[in-house]
Structure 1
Amino acid sequence: MATERLTEDLLLLVRLLRPSRHTDMTPQQYWLLRHLRYSGPQSIGELAQALGITTGSATVACKRLEKAGLITRERQAEDERVVQVALTEPGRTQIDEVLQQRRKSLTHLLQVLDEPEQQELQRLIERLLDAAEAQGFGEMEKK
């Protein structure tokens, strides 16, 4: 019973901290830009695999982001089937601003906890992240 309530509360917290709440980009576009920010240019196929979406969905998201000037798409000369995607400077600036806003919001929220509570929360989160990594929960980015 306690685990069920904790699960629901954590899901609610995740929804409250969702990046799309303060921007007009979709969560999928946010994660795509964020992935490019930390991983560098990648093919559509690599992006789709990293994000757990279809190549068709990645292509649609990339077309929208390219139209907004946040990424570039370039066919590779050696294999025209491969489309390389890279962040533009405006894309880098936008994702950095969204990340900064998320950090600011979370820092503000954490201020309700005193120092020992924050330390305990940090210890527990590290345990959960270690368990998630050990169980193979996708690419773990500790940034």
Structure 2
Amino acid sequence: MMTKTKVRDWMTPNPITIDAEATVVEAIHLLKEKNVRRLPVMKHGRLVGIVTERMLLSFSPGKSTSLDTWELHYLLARTPVTEAMNPKPHTVTPETELADAAQLIRDRKLNGITVVNEHGDLVGILTTTNALEALIAFAKDAAAQK
């Protein structure tokens, strides 16, 4: 019988993060390089937001309508990632029940959720992929019980 029902059992620990001082272009490059779709944004070791691939790719600076590709790249290379991030990411703790975290992800239409400890330190990330891994394990476990 499987008893791994907490977020800590399924989260990705020590997620790849980006510093608040980084630019939108640096964030896009980091996503590609590390093959991830979301980056917690850190300032002085604290979680200050989250930025996703979708946020970055749909982000455009205010005056972008009349800019050509080079001007846009120039601007994005100087735009801090904090301008594109969500400054109030949803969080859960490692002790949160996996079902509750999964329901939050579904209800809020998120693709992942940041995991912080009781001090507010980032300790992991729970993605829809992590939740599906748990579902697969639970389903296989249930089938084996029959």
**TM-score grouping bracket, smaller chain normalisation:** under 0.3
Say which structure, 1 or 2, has more relative contact order (CA 8 Å, 6+ apart): 2
Larger fraction in helix: 1
More strand by share: 2
Q: TM-score, normalised by structure 2?
A: 0.21
